[in-house]
């Protein structure tokens, strides 16, 4: 009983403290990024995405669309993305069998106004994932595919973060 009352007090305190912090931040000019006046407002639903026609490229484009919204055929901006993945063994047994792989990846991006060749914002992002090969062949294949899928999502999130941070006037 005492623990329940103690937890509810903590929740109330946290809620009141969180609301107070939100009001303080709004008084200082803080605007939520996805709000109507946020930096992502100009990008939300207005970016057509072009990218590699691979499974990982599809996952990258889909994740960016999930974050920025799907764009109509008359989008204001075009985002061209590239993806480079490579796989390398990092854990080797004394017998020479590789038991762990790492997949470093690089995502490149260039944002331009639709119908223009002038690049408004561009850059690259990097990350990596890994997987183990100690299971069966099917488990190893599934782990490899999952690692590649996770990496595509990580790189897409990094690209969107850079876009939002770098395009305050759009």
Query: What pLDDT does 30 receive?
Result: 63
Q: What pLDDT digit, counting tens, does each position of 138-155 carry? A: 999 999 999 999 999 999
DSSP, residue by residue, 32-73: -TTSTTSTTTTTTT-EEEE--SSHHHHHHHHHHHHHH-PPPT
Backbone angles phi, psi at 33, to 5 degrees: -60, -40
Q: What pLDDT digit, counting tens, does each position of 14-66 carry? A: 555 555 555 555 556 666 666 666 666 678 888 999 999 999 999 999 999 99
Task: Name the nearest CA neighbour of 50 among 101, 9, 110.
Answer: 110
Backbone angles phi, psi at 95, to 5 degrees: -80, -5
**Positions of E strands within the chain:** 47-50, 77-85, 88-92, 98-113, 119-132
Q: pLDDT higher for 166 or 103? A: 103
Query: What pLDDT does 1 receive?
Result: 46
What is the dihedral sign for C-alpha 134, 135, 141, 142?
negative
Question: Looking at the domain that runs over 33-166, which CATH code has it been given?
Answer: 3.30.160.150
Share of the chain above pLDDT 70, in %: 74
- Please give the Cα distance from 65 to 60 (Å, whole number): 9
């Amino acid at each position: 009983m005492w623990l329940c009352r103690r937890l509810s007090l903590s929740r109330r305190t946290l809620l009141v403290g969180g609301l107070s912090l939100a009001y303080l931040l709004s008084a200082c000019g803080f605007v939520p990024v996805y709000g109507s006046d946020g930096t992502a407002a100009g990008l939300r639903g207005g970016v057509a995405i072009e990218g590699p026609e691979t499974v990982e490229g599809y996952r990258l484009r889909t994740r960016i669309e999930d974050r920025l919204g799907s764009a109509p055929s008359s989008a204001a901006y075009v985002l061209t993305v590239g993806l480079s993945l490579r796989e390398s063994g990092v854990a080797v047994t004394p017998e020479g069998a590789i038991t762990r792989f790492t997949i470093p990846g690089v995502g490149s991006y260039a944002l331009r106004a639709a119908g223009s060749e002038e690049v408004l914002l561009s850059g690259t992002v990097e990350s990596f994932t890994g997987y183990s090969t100690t299971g069966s062949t099917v488990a190893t294949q599934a782990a490899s595919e999952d690692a590649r899928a996770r990496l595509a999502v990580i790189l897409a999130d990094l690209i969107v973060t850079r876009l939002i941070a770098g395009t305050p006037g759009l």
